[in-house]
Amino acid sequence: MTVVYKLPDIVAKLGGRVLGDSGVCITQIATLENARPDQISFLTNSKYRAQLANTKAGAVILSEADQDASQLPRIISDNAYAYFARVSALLNPGPEIQPGIHPSAVIGADAKIAATASIAATAVIGDGATIGAYSVVGEGCCIGAHAVIGSHARLYPRVVVYHDCVIGNNLIAHSGVVIGADGFGIAMDDGRWIKIQQIGRVVIGDDVEIGANTTIDRGALDDTMIEDGVKLDNQIQIAHNVRIGAHSAIAGCVGIAGSTTIGKHCRIGGSAGILGHLHIADHVEIAAFTLIGKSIREAGSYAGIFPFSSTDDWRRNSVHLRHLDELAGRIRTLEKQLESLGTESLNRK
């Protein structure tokens, strides 16, 4: 079953305005390169203008600035990228939820599962856990005792939520996510590590998405906190007692060490790291592959990446890094010698 939209139908739902032929029938969204005549595409980066000229799309989404960049039927929006996201959601509403509990699921005593929720095959819901309205708990998920998951959540297969964690509405958690495992708390005692019980929880706000195989540890004593609107990519590691401010977005493979606070509206690039017990201000951008080793008090963009080159060049150049202090010393020596020579030369004049 395919749903067909005309451009005025889309604009009626999502805003913007139509230019050109408004009769074209749209069934899907696609890239400029691969779109067919029954598909709508979009231009959000002017470097794809050549593709716009050659696209077979039936219509396009353009920004106000680009409104005349094509004569195709088009929707003009002041934020074409966000508009594209909205059109994609409109055209791809996702499968309908089948409320109910699969017979192979295992439900603990006193679990509170909304009548509109869906619990898939082989999922396990712990004693006293709560699953909110219209939430979907995928195949093989394990929800710990007394954990709370709000409404409209979408847990893909094999997500684990440990006991007592609390999650708001509209969570999306992809497969392999682990929420609430013990933080890495150990104390050295006479040559042996002893474990520090991790009795805090993970508390997650509304509208959070968590990528595949990302892990968020429970707090040692207080809670680990993920505020509203945070978006986490895959394979991120968030240690105990971290707090991530609202609407921050973190790319894949980032590691954040214990008790660090990230501000609101931050953006952290892939494979970056942040050491423990630091404070990162609001509106901070951190480049991929950068280690943040001290607190950042001011909004702005930060980086610390070793530039790559051919391995031969890298070898030739990087060897000096182990002697940088000596090189700097030699420059100081040269400056002094030159100064004294210069003075001498001056004296001779």
Interaction residues for a second copy, span 222-281 (CB under 8 A): 222, 229, 231, 233-235, 237, 239, 247, 249, 251-253, 255, 257, 265, 270-271, 273, 275
Count of residues near a second copy by CB under 8 A: 131
CA-to-CA distance for 58 and 212, rounded, in angstroms? 35
Amino acid of residue 54 = N
Phi-psi region of 266 (alpha: psi -120 to 50; beta: other; left: phi over 0): beta
Tell me the sheet residues that pair with 237. Answer: 215, 255
Residue 97 found at the interface with a second copy (CB under 8 A): no
- Out of 92, 112, 297, 343, the only residue in the binding site for a second copy (CB under 8 A) is 92
For 183-207, letters b (16+ CB in 10 Å) and e give bebeeeeeeeeeeeebebbbbbbbb
Please give the helix or strand (H or E) that residue 284 lies within, else none.
strand 284-286
Residue 132 found at the interface with a second copy (CB under 8 A): no
Minimum Å distance from CB 151 to a second copy?
17
Distances from the Cα of 68 to the Cαs of 42, 49, 59, 60, 74, in angstroms?
13, 12, 13, 11, 10
Please give the helix or strand (H or E) that residue 98 lies within, else none.
none
Residue 215 found at the interface with a second copy (CB under 8 A): yes
Minimum Å distance from CB 59 to a second copy?
15
Residue 347 found at the interface with a second copy (CB under 8 A): no
Residue 3 found at the interface with a second copy (CB under 8 A): no
CA-to-CA distance for 4 and 23, rounded, in angstroms? 11
- Out of 3, 36, 221, 297, the only residue in the binding site for a second copy (CB under 8 A) is 221
Residue 207 found at the interface with a second copy (CB under 8 A): yes
- Out of 4, 12, 65, 338, the only residue in the binding site for a second copy (CB under 8 A) is 338
Of the pair 116, 122, the CB lying nearest a second copy is at 122
Q: How many CA atoms lie within 13 A of 71 on its CB side?
A: 0
Minimum Å distance from CB 29 to a second copy?
7
Q: Which of residues 34-53 bind a second copy (CB under 8 A)?
A: 34
The residue annotated as part of the active site, out of 146, 152, 174, 240, is 240
Nearest to 66 by CA among 51, 83, 78, 84: 78
Q: Which of residues 105-124 bind a second copy (CB under 8 A)?
A: 106, 120-122, 124
**Maximum alpha-carbon separation in the chain:** 101
Catalytic residue check, 320 = no
Of the pair 68, 314, the CB lying nearest a second copy is at 314
- Enzyme catalytic residues: 240
